Structure 1
Amino acid sequence: MKIQMKTPLVEMDGDEMTRVLWQQIKEILLEPYVDLYTEYYDLSLPIREETKDQVTVDAANANKKYGVAVKCATITPNAQRVEEYNLSQMWKSPNGTIRAILDGTVFRTPIMVNGIVPAVRTWQKPITIARHAFGDVYKASEIRVPEAGVARLVFEGEDGQVISEEIAAFEGPGVLQGQFNKDKSIESFARSCFEYALSKNEDLWFSTKDTISKKYDHRFKDIFQEIYDNEYKEKFEARNLEYFYTLIDDAVARVIRSKGGFIWALKNYDGDVMSDMVSTAFGSLAMMTSVLVSPEGNYEYEAAHGTVTRHYYKYLKGEETSTNPVATIFAWSGALRKRGEVDDLPDLVAFADHLEEATLETIEAGEMTGDLVGLWTREDIPAVKLNSTDFLKAIASRLDAKQNA
């Protein structure tokens, strides 16, 4: 008897090799046990082009309606992709669009496995990156300056107030970029981070570069401190938890020397870069969970890596690939667990737990994809490289034993 669902899970399909794995994960690991009830959106690049990216907006709004979504990796096109896919324009990042609509915080945590040791020898526990998911460079306006002239930053208030600052005097061609953020979004970011730290019972670090960005970054610092002092200080102290702010360059040094086991809150771009650094240092980009949490309590789970283009081109040639699907599996398990928690479906929650346990046990038994073989450190258990499909089948055998126990 398959596990039944009450409310649809918003399913956002994606591109290239991860799209192939997406279907295999459903067929091999999910559909034999769960009667999947999803509202499906195809966010592949051809469909985004066909709908003028309306499909991405529709998917984000469906996430707001139903509360829980799971997303496959998608292509953010560059100039080469525009030519390859014959696009009418360079469509923006689907993740950026979804994050702007949900106005949430992305929490990314490495998946640790017995047998794979972090590159930073002091790290003993996962480091969660809390990334602000609104504004900054992802919603910036840009100008290609064609000639000499003066650039100004101008704000025109509703009451007629005008604020103008000269940015630069150009002696010749150049480039301009205007970024923004909003107090309301920064406040939501701060509260999400404090709440998540309390839920995980972990310290919270926050870092920007306010010594250089004395208004923009400093506003982030001030809002975090005000909300902490007025709303969370007593709660943190009661749990013996610490919140502190430090400059991002100092934070990087502290992170490298730390033992892990804390949440590191960062602005949008900083979080993007540092989550890749942290995940790689812990083992692999394909071994990292990622969940977007909105202030309204909506959740979107996804893999924290790209579409694995190189493997996709091999796949199209009929060549065997050993692509790591773990982050995508954990996106599904995270979304199904949250759907089960929200809808009071303990069997669905238990299935998500079993799926994650079976995945980690498979790797710890020495059966893994190629990216992990080179990282394997256990001498008592030899590492065996499996192709993607065989790896999923190895997980399925353990999952079946757990489900039928």
Structure 2
Amino acid sequence: MSSKITVDAPLVILHGDEMAQVAFEKILDTFVTSRLEIPLVEIDLSAENRLVTNGQVVVDAVEALKRHGVGIKNAGMTVNRAQLGELLAKHPDLDGTKLHPLATKSPNGAIRKGIGGNITREDIQFRNLKVKRPEWVDRDIVVDTMEVGGIKESFNELSRATGIVKLMFVGASGDPVELHRREVKKGDPWLLATNDLEDVKAWAHRFFQRAIDEKRDIYLGLKDTVISGYDGVMRAAIEGIYDQHYREQVEALGLAYFYELIDAQAARLVSNPPERALWGVPDNTTGRKLYKLVEQLKQYGIPDRKAQVSISRMSAGGGDQYGSFNAPAEEDGILKVIVDGEEKHARHVRKGDPILLMSNDHEAIKDWVLQVFRDASRKSKEVYFGLKREVMEYDEVFSTVITDVRRELAEADTSPPSFMIMRPSSQLIKMITDPPRNALYPAQNLDGDIFSDISAALGGSLATASSIIESKDGTMLFEAPHGTAHDLYLKYLESDGKEAHFNSSALLYAVANALETLGEREENPALVDYAHRLKAALIDTVDAGIITGDLKGKTNAPESETLVDMQGFLDAVASRL
């Protein structure tokens, strides 16, 4: 007779790439299929399979999650141009000019939008981790951002009618061409932003020359994978100038140049600041937030972290930048935004200027605010929203919805949690320098992406945080917030699998969360108990000082630590079940 726990409901498994996938397969073998009789709906979301299926597997993943309700997603690669070229060379039958965006872009936004889910990230409640406070006071780090263009000079408003937003372009021919259209409802916010590519290039010249004059290492951060037609255009222009005019001088002076996605770079620099650097963040909305944070940290530093931080990220609805239309202008001309047949805004653009049109859904915003208040009330958390409402209609709608939801809860005799609305820059500073013991920080999509990575890095690593995506209809997707660990995967391959250094805590916690949810929904006490024991075994393993290399020196008793590889850590957890 089998001693396995029987589970009736299927669990959706979304596979990923590289070292994270190696770990995921071992976790599923050790803690799921060997201990549970459970139907698994497995979908290969690896970068190669997304390409080969022309993005169909992303659609399949959304449908499976909506049908079955609970899933686990592993980290997957978002390919850059070089990697895409390699994959196309491997599959010569594929026509690179006819690929659907889902074939090459990150599937995360499409999945969140497809299930209408918002993200909550919070620290795993490890008791034996004491993160060393990074030394920030008097660090000679300067954030440099553009003063013009972008969302700072956007046109944004609330739709006055339900209808279609059309982005039109009038070029040399004089004939209007439709670039993009999307449906909006009355009250939905939308925004058009552009950047003058010549301004971007001028900033790049000043930025690199400043680094040379002041002899600073150079850091540049953008979100070019997700917003390739906007941030990607700026990156190409900036790095083209670097290669042509400044690389030789920088290298001759012994200075270093680093490019990284802005969320990962912000996490790395805030948690491990260099002695001296020039940090370029061309997007002035993000750049101003990080400038204010860095100036605060240089003066006052980061206090010892005694609070667990939770961040709720508004990723449903229109997705803001992550669901935007973004592309460079093909020629000089005029952009026009037409809403329900009425011209709302027009502006000149020049060839190559990056264009971004984004929107959000009023009802999705309301669902998110309700979710935030529900989560905060359930866990007795204070809520700190970050909105730039006084200067942007786009953000003002969030403020209005918060007030409306609060009133509805009060009328229903449901007490909303304590909350405060502040500017996003103040929200970020409070989260890092003055967090209350139990707080929830709701943020819009891009801010939430950056803020959550910073918080996770300060809490230990992305491998010590959990990520939950919840939709209005109850669909739950659990994931680890870290990436695929490309560098560790290369070492794994080079050693023929002998060097497997990867912290699988976040993936393991995601599995336990998913099993707990399944158990609660089908009223399966044995499964709920197993999920609780799995979480306890994970936390007890770290309590015993058994850790992977990324946590070396971060426990309360570094002299008693036992460093193990990925398999050793999983074996230690399994032995405690």
TM-score of the pair, normalised by structure 2: 0.65
Asked whether the 8 Å contact 2:312–2:441 carries over to 1, the reply is yes
Q: For residues 360-375 of structure 1, what are the structure 2 equivalents within 5 Å?
A: 360-375=539-554
1:304 aligns with 2:486: no
Task: Measure the CA separation in 2 of the matches of 1:260 and 1:56.
Answer: 38
Shift of 1:169: 2.4
Question: Residue 15 of structure 2 corresponds to which residue in structure 1?
Answer: 13
Shift of 1:370: 0.6
Structure 1 unpaired stretches of 5+: 400-405
Task: Measure the CA separation in 1 of the matches of 2:124 and 2:43.
Answer: 27
Shift of 1:28: 2.1
Q: Report the AA paired with residue 345 of structure 2.
A: E
- Could you tell me which of 378, 394, 416 is aligned with 1:216? 394
Question: Residue 151 of structure 1 corresponds to which residue in structure 2?
Answer: 335
1:163 aligns with 2:343: yes
Question: Residue 402 of structure 1 corresponds to which residue in structure 2?
Answer: none
Structure 2 unpaired stretches of 5+: 89-93, 134-301
- Could you tell me which of 313, 322, 325 is aligned with 1:131? 313
- Cα deviations across residues 331-377 of structure 1 (Å, max 9, x unaligned)? 10000000000000111111111111111111111111110114234
Shift of 1:171: 5.1
Asked whether the 8 Å contact 1:194–1:232 carries over to 2, the reply is no
Structure 1's consecutive aligned runs of 4 or more residues displaced over 6 angstroms after TM superposition are none
| SS of aligned partner of 1:322 | coil
Q: Report the AA paired with residue 332 of structure 2.
A: A
- Could you tell me which of 345, 359, 364 is aligned with 2:538? 359
Asked whether the 8 Å contact 1:290–1:304 carries over to 2, the reply is yes
Asked whether the 8 Å contact 1:289–1:302 carries over to 2, the reply is yes
Q: Which 10-residue stretch deviates more, 200-209 or 177-186? A: 200-209
Shift of 1:235: 2.7
1:58 aligns with 2:235: no
1:106 aligns with 2:119: yes
Task: Measure the CA separation in 2 of the matches of 1:344 and 1:232.
Answer: 32
Q: For residues 310-321 of structure 1, what are the structure 2 equivalents within 5 Å?
A: 310-317=487-494, 318=496, 319-321=498-500
- Could you tell me which of 405, 415, 420 is aligned with 1:244? 420
Question: Residue 38 of structure 2 corresponds to which residue in structure 1?
Answer: 36
Asked whether the 8 Å contact 2:386–2:422 carries over to 1, the reply is yes
1:384 aligns with 2:562: yes
Task: Measure the CA separation in 1 of the matches of 2:49 and 2:327.
Answer: 28
Larger radius of gyration: 2
- Could you tell me which of 450, 456, 474 is aligned with 1:273? 450
Task: Measure the CA separation in 1 of the matches of 2:307 and 2:37.
Answer: 35
Asked whether the 8 Å contact 1:104–1:188 carries over to 2, the reply is no
Q: Report the AA paired with residue 531 of structure 2.
A: A
| SS of aligned partner of 2:386 | strand
- Could you tell me which of 77, 96, 99 is aligned with 2:109? 96
| SS of aligned partner of 2:576 | helix
Asked whether the 8 Å contact 2:14–2:44 carries over to 1, the reply is yes
Q: Report the AA paired with residue 26 of structure 1.
A: L
| SS of aligned partner of 2:414 | helix
- Cα deviations across residues 238-278 of structure 1 (Å, max 9, x unaligned)? xxx30221111111222221234111111111111111011
Q: Which 10-residue stretch deviates more, 69-78 or 342-351? A: 69-78
Shift of 1:176: 0.7
Asked whether the 8 Å contact 2:336–2:343 carries over to 1, the reply is no
Task: Measure the CA separation in 1 of the matches of 2:13 and 2:350.
Answer: 50
Shift of 1:232: 4.9
Task: Measure the CA separation in 1 of the matches of 2:344 and 2:467.
Answer: 40
- Cα deviations across residues 283-328 of structure 1 (Å, max 9, x unaligned)? 1111111111100111000111111111111111125032000000
1:259 aligns with 2:407: no
Shift of 1:110: 0.9
Question: Residue 204 of structure 2 corresponds to which residue in structure 1?
Answer: none
Shift of 1:112: 3.4
Asked whether the 8 Å contact 1:112–1:282 carries over to 2, the reply is no
Q: Which 10-residue stretch deviates more, 242-251 or 278-287? A: 242-251
Asked whether the 8 Å contact 1:150–1:169 carries over to 2, the reply is yes
Asked whether the 8 Å contact 1:122–1:259 carries over to 2, the reply is no
- Cα deviations across residues 43-89 of structure 1 (Å, max 9, x unaligned)? 11121112111111111111111111111111122223312322835
TM-score of the pair, normalised by structure 1: 0.91
Task: Measure the CA separation in 1 of the matches of 2:351 and 2:77.
Answer: 34
Task: Measure the CA separation in 2 of the matches of 1:170 and 1:46.
Answer: 36
Q: Which 10-residue stretch deviates more, 26-35 or 362-371? A: 26-35
| SS of aligned partner of 1:258 | coil
Asked whether the 8 Å contact 1:102–1:294 carries over to 2, the reply is yes
Structure 2 CA distance for partners of 1:2 and 1:82, relative to 1, 3 Å: same
| SS of aligned partner of 1:329 | helix
Structure 2 CA distance for partners of 1:172 and 1:289, relative to 1, 3 Å: same
Structure 2 CA distance for partners of 1:334 and 1:277, relative to 1, 3 Å: same
Task: Measure the CA separation in 2 of the matches of 1:353 and 1:64.
Answer: 25
Q: Report the AA paired with residue 365 of structure 1.
A: A
- Cα deviations across residues 18-48 of structure 1 (Å, max 9, x unaligned)? 1111111122233332223211111111211
Task: Measure the CA separation in 1 of the matches of 2:418 and 2:55.
Answer: 42
Q: Report the AA paired with residue 115 of structure 2.
A: L
Shift of 1:153: 2.4
Q: For residues 110-121 of structure 1, what are the structure 2 equivalents within 5 Å?
A: 110-118=123-131, 119=133, 120-121=302-303
Asked whether the 8 Å contact 1:122–1:258 carries over to 2, the reply is no
Q: Report the AA paired with residue 20 of structure 1.
A: V
Q: Report the AA paired with residue 343 of structure 2.
A: I
Q: Report the AA paired with residue 459 of structure 2.
A: F
Identity %: 28
Asked whether the 8 Å contact 2:119–2:312 carries over to 1, the reply is yes
| SS of aligned partner of 1:6 | coil
- Cα deviations across residues 162-192 of structure 1 (Å, max 9, x unaligned)? 13212x4235531111111111111111111
Task: Measure the CA separation in 2 of the matches of 1:113 and 1:48.
Answer: 35
Aligned residues: 389
- Could you tell me which of 67, 70, 74 is aligned with 1:72? 74
Shift of 1:100: 0.5
Q: For residues 335-346 of structure 1, what are the structure 2 equivalents within 5 Å?
A: 335-346=514-525
Asked whether the 8 Å contact 1:12–1:71 carries over to 2, the reply is yes
Task: Measure the CA separation in 2 of the matches of 1:43 and 1:171.
Answer: 38
Task: Measure the CA separation in 2 of the matches of 1:382 and 1:359.
Answer: 18
Question: Residue 140 of structure 1 corresponds to which residue in structure 2?
Answer: 324
